[in-house]
Amino acid sequence: MVKAVIFDLDGTLLYTLDSIALSTNKVLEANGLPPVTHEQLKRFVGDGVIDLLKRSFAAGGAAKEANEAHVAQFRACFREDCDYHVAPYEGIPELLAFLEEAGMRAACNTNKPHENAVKLIKKHFGTHIATVQGNVPELPKKPDAAGVNVIVKALGCAAEEAVYVGDSDVDIFTARNAGCRSIGAAWGYRGEEELKKAGADFIAYNPTDIIEILKCK
Active site residues: 8
Q: What is the four-CA torsion angle of 190, 195, 201, 202, rounded to 10 degrees? A: 50
In whole angstroms, give the CA distance from residue 21 to residue 83.
Answer: 12
In whole angstroms, give the CA distance from residue 19 to residue 41.
Answer: 11
* 108 three-class SS: strand
CB under 8 A, 24+ apart: contacts of 199-202? 199/172, 200/172, 201/175
List Cα–Cα distances, 110 to 65, 140, 147, 164, 208, in angstroms: 24, 11, 8, 11, 21
